[in-house]
Each structure stands twice: as C-alpha cells, then as structure tokens.
C-alpha cells in the first residue's frame, strides 16, 4: 500500500524535514508540500490524498480550521511545537499528533499506524479514513457484566481503542476533562472522568485516595503519613478518602 501525502506548514524548514522523512519511508509518496493552507485545502478537496501532515498554527487558516472544513477526506497527522494542543487533537479525528522537533522514529511509528489501520480496513472491505471508521465505536471505558471476571479494560486514545491489562496499571491521575493512566511501561491519556473510571475498575484492587488519584493497591511500595509511594511517585491521600484507605490498609496489617 502506498499512501499519497501532502505536507502543510508555514515554516520551510519544517517542510524540509517532513519531505526528508517521507522520502525515507517506502510506503509514502509526497504529492505536494506547501506553506499555503488554503492551497492545501483545495488539493485535499479534489480527492486522491490519503494522508495530510498538518501544522496547527498557520496564518489565514489554522490547522484546526482546516480539519473542520476538510472533514473526513483524508487521514491527518498534526504537527506543532506547542504541546497544549495535544488534548484538543483527541476531539478532531486525527490519526496522530507529532510534537516538534519531530524525531524520525516517532514519525515512522505514526505513519506505520496509519498504514496498518488502512490495510485492516481494506481487508475488511472498508475504504474510509481511519477516524470515520472508528468514530461510531469509540467512547466510554468498557464496563464488565456482573458475572464476568474483569482483567482488562478498553480506553479511547489517539483515535484507537486500546486494551489495558489491569495488572499493568500503577495509578491513574485525573486532570480536568481527561485522565492519565500510568502503567508499568507507558502513560496513556484518555478523555474520561475519574468518576467513571472509579466505577469501572474493580474495587478489590483499585481505590480512590484523592480527588485526582486512583491507585492499584497491590502496587503500593510504602506509606508515610499521608503519602503513598508507587514506582517512585509520591501520591497524596486526600482528607475525604483518608479513613477508608487506612481502614483497608489496617485490614492487611500483620
């Protein structure tokens, strides 16, 4: 499978880097590079483009505005030097988000993800862009049935449904409208509420100890006063949760 690409950025140096990276990947073909977002929009609207590398901050037409106008005519990988746009990108049906300066290995991982998902869609008889195919099924964290043995959950991240083994979860941190799930090997960001996550996780091994933290009880390394240590992370115990937490811990003491 060859993916026809267009690179859109108002910085020539950024375009040079993208063009160089694209030339190194056998399944990518650069159709056009441009500093003009409006020109790029016309190219995408004409059809035939599979993947767009799109800068967010551009004059005349921002990357966000570009996405809202272009819709699902292609798959998109956002590029920007500003990390604050990462969370907003989750609502924009993009395949991935690359933070400048972009490393080649991270670039390759992003484009390989697009190719693999498109190949799966083709094998299943589909031909729509990634986000259009996934959009109907993404959403809340799965809730197990009453009689099921739950040992994993599914969460939406980077416009895919990712399976997370409960055994791998160390702790979960809530930040406004999204949460970070810290596992043994990675940090996973998903648009989800702490309340929903607390209701979903089995209470046998997960406990909310602060308005911003849920912990895996079996991953606790030590407890000192009102602080819990898990994988070198110090997690505070909130006043609202203190009594219940220490009641549970006292039951495990010998």
Distances (CA, A) of 80 to 38, 88, 96, 139, 173: 18, 12, 12, 26, 25
Distances (CA, A) of 35 to 13, 133, 224: 11, 30, 55
- Going by the DSSP 8-state scheme, the letter that residue 138 receives in this structure is -
Q: What is the residue-level pLDDT of the chain in tens, covering all 254 positions?
A: 899 999 999 999 999 999 999 999 999 999 999 999 999 999 999 999 999 999 988 887 888 888 888 878 899 998 887 655 554 554 566 888 888 889 999 999 999 989 988 888 777 665 555 443 333 222 233 333 333 345 888 887 765 778 889 999 999 998 766 788 999 999 888 877 888 889 889 888 999 999 999 999 999 999 998 899 999 999 999 999 999 999 888 877 65
Strand order in the sheet with 169-175: 187-190, 178-183, 169-175, 213-216, 206-210
Burial (CB < 10 A; 0-12, 13-18, 19+), residue 135, is: middle
């Amino acid at each position: 499978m060859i993916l026809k690409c267009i690179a859109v950025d108002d910085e020539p140096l950024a375009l040079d880097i993208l063009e160089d990276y694209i030339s190194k990947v056998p399944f990518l073909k650069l159709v056009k590079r441009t500093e003009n977002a409006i020109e790029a929009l016309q190219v995408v609207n004409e059809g035939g483009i599979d993947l767009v590398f799109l800068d967010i901050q551009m004059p005349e037409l921002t990357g966000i505005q570009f996405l809202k106008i272009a819709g699902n005519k292609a798959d998109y990988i956002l590029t920007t030097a500003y990390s604050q746009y990462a969370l907003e990108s989750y609502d924009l049906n993009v395949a991935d988000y690359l933070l400048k300066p972009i490393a080649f290995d991270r670039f390759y991982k992003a484009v390989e993800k697009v190719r693999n998902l498109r190949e799966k869609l083709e094998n299943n008889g589909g031909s729509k862009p990634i986000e259009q195919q996934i959009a109907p099924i993404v959403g809340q964290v799965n809730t197990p049935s009453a009689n099921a043995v739950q040992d994993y959950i599914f969460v939406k991240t980077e416009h895919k449904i990712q399976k997370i083994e409960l055994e791998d979860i160390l702790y979960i941190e809530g930040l406004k409208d999204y949460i970070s799930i810290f596992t043994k090997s990675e940090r996973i960001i998903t648009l989800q509420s702490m309340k929903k996550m607390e209701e979903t996780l089995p209470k046998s091994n997960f406990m909310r100890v602060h308005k911003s933290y849920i912990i895996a009880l079996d991953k606790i390394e030590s407890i000192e006063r009102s602080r819990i240590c898990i994988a070198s992370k110090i997690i505070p115990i909130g006043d609202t949760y203190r009594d219940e937490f220490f009641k549970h811990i006292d039951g495990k003491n010998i």
